[in-house]
Amino acid sequence: MKIDDAFSIAKDAMTVERVYAEPVERDSTTVIGVAAVSGGAGGGGSDPEGQQGSGAGFGIGAKPVGAFVIRDGRVRWQPAVDVNRLIAVVGAVALAALIVGARFARRP
């Protein structure tokens, strides 16, 4: 794969359709899902001795961030809740509280 091909694929993959989902309508309510999308590409060419070789790579990642909810002509943002992140933060806070509590318990 040539570098130009990798960048072309990256450009085609990083479209607005990856960020905003198709609207879904139910009972006079429209929901449009939204995601955070990031990506990158890289490649290489020939060496200093003129040997030809090439390589390219591309990666893309997406995670839901929320949805626009349209009802009765009003738009409301509904954020997505990342349960894994929430559990990790609560766990880290609880661990920090235990450590601080143990230190205070040892004080004379």
Report the C-alpha gap between 22 and 94 in whole angstroms: 40
Q: According to the model, what pLDDT value does residue 98 have?
A: 94
Q: State the pLDDT confidence band at 2, using cuts at 50, 70 and 90.
A: low
Report the C-alpha gap between 97 and 101 in whole angstroms: 6
**Residues 13-19: what's their mean pLDDT?**
71
For residue 50, which phi and psi values (nearest 5 degrees)? 85, 5
Q: According to the model, what pLDDT value does residue 75 have?
A: 95
Q: Is the pLDDT of residue 16 over 80?
A: no
List pLDDT tens digits, range 27-73. 999 999 998 888 777 666 666 776 666 666 777 888 888 999 999 99
Q: According to the model, what pLDDT value does residue 84 have?
A: 85
Chain-centre distance for alpha carbon 90:
21
